[in-house]
C-alpha cells in the first residue's frame, strides 16, 4: 500500500502518518522532516533550503525529488510508503510517477485532509514535538499524558519549529493554495482521491483513514 497524505500546513498529515507507521508498519516519507534534518546537519541541501523554509516558500523540485528517490532506494520494495508533504507541485507529481515506476511501486490512495484555514494558524502555533523521538504534540489538542514527559520515550525535552509562526504559516498556506491544491485534479482523474474531514478530533480522522485503507 502506497499513499499520499495531502493537506495544508497543520492539516494533520504528520500526526496521521506517524499513527499509520505504528499500526501498519508503513514507512513515513516526510520531505519536511528530511529537509529539517539537512538544515540541522548543514549539508549542501540544508544550506540551500534553510532561508527558503524560513520564508515559508517551497524548496526546489529537484532537491525534494532527489531526497525521495534516495529514501525509496534505501527502504527497498518491502513496506508500504506514506508520502507526507510530497508531492507539493505539479512538477513533483510528475516526477513521482517516474520514481514509482523506477522503484516498482504503485499509488493506492491520495488522501486529502480537508480543513478550515482559520483553524490552521491555531494548530501550527500550538505545535511542538519531542526533541528526542519526534512525537508530535499540541498545546491544547494533544498534550503528553504526564505534562512534561514524552508519552513515547519519556524525554523532557521538546522543541518548536522556527517556521511555525503566524506570518510564515500564512505564506505556507498561500503556497499550498497556489501550487499544491492544483495537483488534486491530476489524481482525481484517476479516481485516487479520497477525502477525510481533518477538522474532526485526531482519533476520528484516523478512523476515517482506516475506512479508506480497508475499502
To ligand ADP, the closest distance from the beta carbon of 76 in angstroms equals 22
Residue 153 binds which one of Zn ion, ligand ADP, none, with CB within 5 to 8 A depending on kind?
A: Zn ion
Rule CB under 5 A: choose which of 150, 173, 183, 209 binds Zn ion.
Answer: 150
Whether 172 is a known active-site residue: answer yes
Torsions phi, psi for 84 (to 5 deg): -115, 110
- Is residue 4 a contact residue for ligand ADP (CB under 6 A)? no
Whether 177 is a known active-site residue: answer no
Q: Which is nearer to Zn ion, 14 or 87 (CB)?
A: 14
Report residue 77 as a C-alpha cell: 520494495
- Is residue 131 a contact residue for Zn ion (CB under 5 A)? no
Which residues face 158 on adjacent strands? 130
- Is residue 152 a contact residue for Zn ion (CB under 5 A)? yes
Helices (H) and strands (E) in the chain, counts: 9, 8
Classify strands 193-197 and 109-114 as parallel, antiparallel or unpaired.
Answer: parallel
- Is residue 183 a contact residue for ligand ADP (CB under 6 A)? no
SS (H, E, C) 92-153: HHHHHHHHHHHCCCCCCEEEEEECCHHHHHHHHHCEEEECCCCCEEECCCECCCCCCCCCCC
Report residue 115 as a C-alpha cell: 480543513
Q: Which is nearer to Zn ion, 144 or 198 (CB)?
A: 144
Whether 127 is a known active-site residue: answer yes
CA atoms within 13 A on the CB side of 83: 28
Residue 155 binds which one of Zn ion, ligand ADP, none, with CB within 5 to 8 A depending on kind?
A: Zn ion
Rule CB under 6 A: choose which of 50, 109, 172, 194 binds ligand ADP.
Answer: 172
Residue 88 binds which one of ligand ADP, Zn ion, none, with CB within 5 to 8 A depending on kind?
A: ligand ADP
DSSP assignments along 24-52, one per residue: H--EEEEHHHHHHHHHHTT-HHHHHHHHH
- Of the candidates 91, 121, 64, the one whose C-alpha atom is nearest the C-alpha of residue 182 is 91
- Listed ranges 81-89, 100-108, 128-136, 197-205: which one lies at the site for Zn ion (CB under 5 A): 128-136
The catalytic residue among 160, 161, 170, 195 is: 160
- Listed ranges 72-80, 133-141, 145-153, 207-215: which one lies at the site for ligand ADP (CB under 6 A): 133-141
Active site residues: 13, 88, 127, 160, 172
Q: Given the rule CB under 5 A, which residues bind Zn ion?
A: 130, 132-133, 135, 150, 152-153, 155
Amino acid at each position: 500500500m502506497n499513499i499520499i497524505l495531502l493537506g495544508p500546513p497543520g492539516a494533520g498529515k504528520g500526526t496521521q502518518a506517524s499513527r499509520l507507521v505504528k499500526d501498519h508498519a508503513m514507512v513515513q516519507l516526510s520531505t519536511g522532516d528530511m529537509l529539517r534534518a539537512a538544515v540541522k546537519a548543514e549539508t549542501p541541501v540544508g544550506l540551500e533550503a534553510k532561508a527558503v523554509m524560513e520564508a515559508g516558500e517551497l524548496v526546489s523540485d529537484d532537491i525534494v525529488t532527489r531526497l525521495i528517490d534516495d529514501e525509496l532506494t534505501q527502504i527497498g520494495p518491502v513496506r508500504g510508503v506514506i508520502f507526507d508533504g510530497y508531492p507539493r507541485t505539479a512538477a513533483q507529481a510528475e516526477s513521482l510517477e517516474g520514481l514509482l515506476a523506477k522503484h516498482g511501486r504503485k499509488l493506492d490512495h491520495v488522501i486529502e485532509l480537508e480543513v478550515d484555514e482559520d483553524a490552521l494558524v491555531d494548530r501550527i502555533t500550538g505545535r511542538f514535538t519531542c526533541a528526542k523521538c519526534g512525537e508530535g504534540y499540541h498545546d491544547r489538542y494533544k498534550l503528553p499524558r504526564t505534562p512534561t514527559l514524552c508519552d513515547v520515550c519519556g524525554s523532557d525535552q521538546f522543541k518548536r519549529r522556527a517556521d511555525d509562526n503566524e506570518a510564515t504559516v500564512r505564506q505556507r498556506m498561500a503556497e499550498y493554495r497556489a501550487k499544491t491544491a492544483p495537483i488534486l485534479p491530476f489524481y482525481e482523474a484517476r479516481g485516487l482521491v479520497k477525502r477525510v474531514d481533518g477538522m474532526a478530533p485526531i482519533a476520528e480522522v484516523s478512523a476515517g483513514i482506516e475506512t479508506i485503507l480497508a475499502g
